Structure 1
Amino acid sequence: MPIPPTGSKQLARMLPLAVIAVTGAALVAAYAYAAGWLSPDRLTPVLIIDNFHADFGQHPGFRRNHAKGMCVAGYFEGNGLGTPYSSAAVFDKVRTPVIGRFAVPGGNPAVADTAGPVRSLALQFTQSNGEQWRTGMNNTPVFIVNTPQGFYDNLQASRPVPGTGKPDPTRLPAFFAAHPESSAFRLWVKGHPPTSSFANTRFYSINAFELVDGKGVHHLARWSVLPEANAAPLSPAAASDPNALQDELAERLRAGPQRWHLQLQLAKPGDPGNDATIAWPDDRQVIDAGVLTLESTVAQDDGPCRDINFDPTVLPRGIQVSNDPLLAARSGAYARSYNLRTGEQAALHATPGASR
């Protein structure tokens, strides 16, 4: 029978177990903090998603925001001009497959395409080495707020009043007064009427990111995709059609691919990377890094984008998150939405005769 270790030998054997235990406890505590378990009044992904439910109702199986959308597929061809600033393989002279999703804001999957001025384009680039770059962009170069708390306040101010279906007319003005940073977003929307198509719309990353080159040097950047299709105003007839943008894009893609140029805007010292309400000056260096080509569209119910969580913090080597606080909040809310809808979809498909 082996003799039990004593003294320093026993301590030496126990030390690794103690380290594991402490590390595990720290991870659990960190997760508990992130989930809000240790601070019930703290703003959490659960609270954010609960407010989407309060604003838009519950629609099982759908995203909690940008619920109405359509899948698209195509590819990106890098031209090598981005490689001095990022070591990500997507910027090499290669073709990278892309799955994307056009959508409109809000949690109502039956909303009209043209109900509001904001549109979105989410993309997933899958590099040959298996790494992915996911990005969620809007057609506005700035966001309405610059903190998660501001976004939460906006959700509450926008909540429809029972019986009217519209926000309380006193709450939004109060929100704007309390959040003067929202003025840039409102001015941009006022001065840029919606275009006639997803295909002739420019989309922006809004948040800043860090491009990391092969020497490990960081370059603060934002990006956008600039359409080759000429802009045209939305017609009154299209504005009254609830599926105008989706139907128009499907028709365009049947006629041929649609293309956008990926533009990398590089910051100068002093440009903020942590405030999505401030656009950088137009004189900042812009790199045309390649062409995004979209070839086909599929309904989101069974399309390739259905099961993708377009978390903007899923990044390949060569691209990193900045210190923008909205990025972590977006990641957490997206994960909460993804877990809810995929669980609901699984339950729905397990029910005989059920359909969505």
Structure 2
Amino acid sequence: MARDRSTPALNWRGTPVSRRSILIGLGAVGAFVAVDLGSVAFANGWVGGGGAFTRQTFVDGFRAVFGNHPGFRKNHAKGVAVTGYFDGNGNGAELSSAAVFGRVRTPVTGRFSLSGGDPFMADTPSAARGLGLAFGLPGADQWRTAMLNLPVFPDNSPRGFYDRLLASATVAGTGKPDPAAMAAFLAKHPETAAAMAVIKNHPPTPGFADSTFSGLNAFYVVDAAGRRTPVRWSFTPLQAALPSTAGDDGLFDALVRQLRTGPLSWRLHLVVGEPPDPLTDATLPWPPERRVVDAGTLTLTGAETEAPGNARDVNFDPLVLPPGIEPTDDPLLSARSSVYAASYRARTGEPKSASAVQVGEVS
């Protein structure tokens, strides 16, 4: 029997905690309409503590660093849409009442991308790769997640992210960031310096198909009795990748060619946190011996050029969560939700240009 919503949830130690007031379960099966949670959670536009930034501050920062590209995402601007499904195996139901973790097939729409605000940037093996997924669930429930092929996130605060964004601006003539600006940033943000050392020890794989994509932020999964368990999730590949080809779109072209030969699959792993694992600092890895629950298999069956009606128009807001998954107090979650909403609202009112990745032109 489901827990009475009037009773308090239980944390991982079994003691009562108050439930967070969030909006969950928005959307419908097969209709992934972008949800502007950020405008609800941050009606005044502020991001981070103390009114340090507005959502527009971040949008303007991306434009200053990468240029103005109307109609595209302000970050992860270059991408390709994908479709498929997720087969839950029932193992995740031990931890969460979310329908997606039952023995059920759930339709999925998604998007592979490269980090950065230039939609026409050349593919490079070192660029951070993203995978956004939107899971359609029964009724009005939906789950969205935006992940990276990194072991940890480089920043643990909105201020850190913004400062790194500005420090990463390339210098005319060199095509690289100003070393002095980056050194000053790292001196001010030792947490990012430590995270970059972890990232350096986990070099990227050759392609999208063999990349592990992780949520990096911690969430709570909540079972039918109201017990909350902290987890981080990742999608682990079940195949190697075709080698990337020459040209500016080599990584994406290899992905498109591989999908034409057959589906690509990833295993969803829920990593279970224990005290004193950090829940609000995504720059810190959890110990490798933590328990891992195999919750099912993601299968992607096709790629599409970004266009109206596919993942081009999905806001992969990390706070669009179904019953059974809840956010922690990680400050990056609220900031990401707010800035994603601002980016979505900006690009929907702008003229559209053709995506650099044209699936039909890949031979």
- TM-score tier, shorter chain, comes to 0.7 to 0.9
Equivalent position of 1:261 in the other structure: 267
Is 1:151 the counterpart of 2:172 in the alignment? no
Percent identity of paired positions between Structure 1 and Structure 2: 50
| Alpha-carbon distance between aligned partners in 1 of 2:139 and 2:99, rounded to the nearest angstrom | 8
| Alpha-carbon distance between aligned partners in 1 of 2:192 and 2:347, rounded to the nearest angstrom | 30
Q: CA deviation at 1:29?
A: 12
Letter in 2 for 1:317: P
CA contact (8 A) 2:114 2:130 kept: yes
Q: CA deviation at 1:231?
A: 6.5
CA contact (8 A) 2:152 2:199 kept: no
Q: CA deviation at 1:32?
A: 5.7
- Tell me the alpha carbon deviations over residues 16-56 of structure 1, each in whole angstroms, 9 at most, x when there is no partner: xxxxxxxxxxxx999564448xx8x6212110111000000
Q: CA deviation at 1:192?
A: 2.9
Choose from 58, 82, 92 the match for 1:48. Answer: 58
Equivalent position of 2:278 in the other structure: 272
Q: CA deviation at 1:269?
A: 1.5
For structure 2, the residue ranges without an aligned partner over 5 or more in a row are 1-38, 355-363
Q: CA deviation at 1:187?
A: 2.1
Q: CA deviation at 1:184?
A: 3.8
Choose from 323, 330, 333 the match for 1:327. Answer: 333
Equivalent position of 2:90 in the other structure: 80
Is 1:339 the counterpart of 2:349 in the alignment? no
Is 1:139 the counterpart of 2:152 in the alignment? no
| Alpha-carbon distance between aligned partners in 2 of 1:137 and 1:31, rounded to the nearest angstrom | 23
| Alpha-carbon distance between aligned partners in 2 of 1:51 and 1:94, rounded to the nearest angstrom | 42
Choose from 210, 220, 223 the match for 1:200. Answer: 210
SS of the aligned residue for 2:248 comes to coil
Letter in 2 for 1:282: P
Equivalent position of 1:250 in the other structure: 256
| Alpha-carbon distance between aligned partners in 1 of 2:105 and 2:62, rounded to the nearest angstrom | 38
Q: Which has the higher contact order (CA 8 A, sep 6+)?
A: 2
Distance 1:203 1:32, change over 3 A: closer
Greater Cα radius of gyration, structure 1 or 2 = 1
Choose from 165, 187, 191 the match for 1:181. Answer: 191
CA contact (8 A) 2:125 2:204 kept: no
Equivalent position of 2:135 in the other structure: 125
Distance 1:30 1:148, change over 3 A: closer
CA contact (8 A) 2:220 2:328 kept: yes
- Tell me the alpha carbon deviations over residues 116-152 of structure 1, each in whole angstroms, 9 at most, x when there is no partner: 3310100000112231100000000211110001001
Give TM-score, length-normalised by structure 2. Answer: 0.82
Aligned residues: 314
Equivalent position of 1:166 in the other structure: 176
SS of the aligned residue for 1:100 comes to strand
Letter in 1 for 2:330: D
| Alpha-carbon distance between aligned partners in 2 of 1:195 and 1:166, rounded to the nearest angstrom | 23
Equivalent position of 2:219 in the other structure: 209
Distance 1:245 1:210, change over 3 A: same
CA RMSD across the alignment: 2.3
CA contact (8 A) 1:102 1:119 kept: yes
Equivalent position of 1:7 in the other structure: none
- Tell me the alpha carbon deviations over residues 273-323 of structure 1, each in whole angstroms, 9 at most, x when there is no partner: 000000100111100000000000001134610110000110000001111
Q: CA deviation at 1:230?
A: 3.3
CA contact (8 A) 2:80 2:113 kept: yes
Is 1:282 the counterpart of 2:288 in the alignment? yes
Letter in 1 for 2:169: R
Q: CA deviation at 1:161?
A: 3.3
Distance 1:186 1:95, change over 3 A: same
| Alpha-carbon distance between aligned partners in 1 of 2:251 and 2:173, rounded to the nearest angstrom | 29
Give TM-score, length-normalised by structure 1. Answer: 0.83
- Tell me the alpha carbon deviations over residues 196-224 of structure 1, each in whole angstroms, 9 at most, x when there is no partner: 22111100001000101100110000000
For structure 1, the residue ranges without an aligned partner over 5 or more in a row are 1-27, 350-356
Q: CA deviation at 1:190?
A: 2.2
Distance 1:197 1:161, change over 3 A: closer
Deviates more, 1:176-185 or 1:320-329: 176-185
Distance 1:82 1:293, change over 3 A: same
Q: 1:62-77 counterparts in 2 under 5 A?
A: 62-77=72-87
Q: CA deviation at 1:113?
A: 2.0
Q: 1:20-31 counterparts in 2 under 5 A?
A: none
Choose from 101, 108, 126 the match for 2:118. Answer: 108
SS of the aligned residue for 1:317 comes to coil
Letter in 2 for 1:204: S
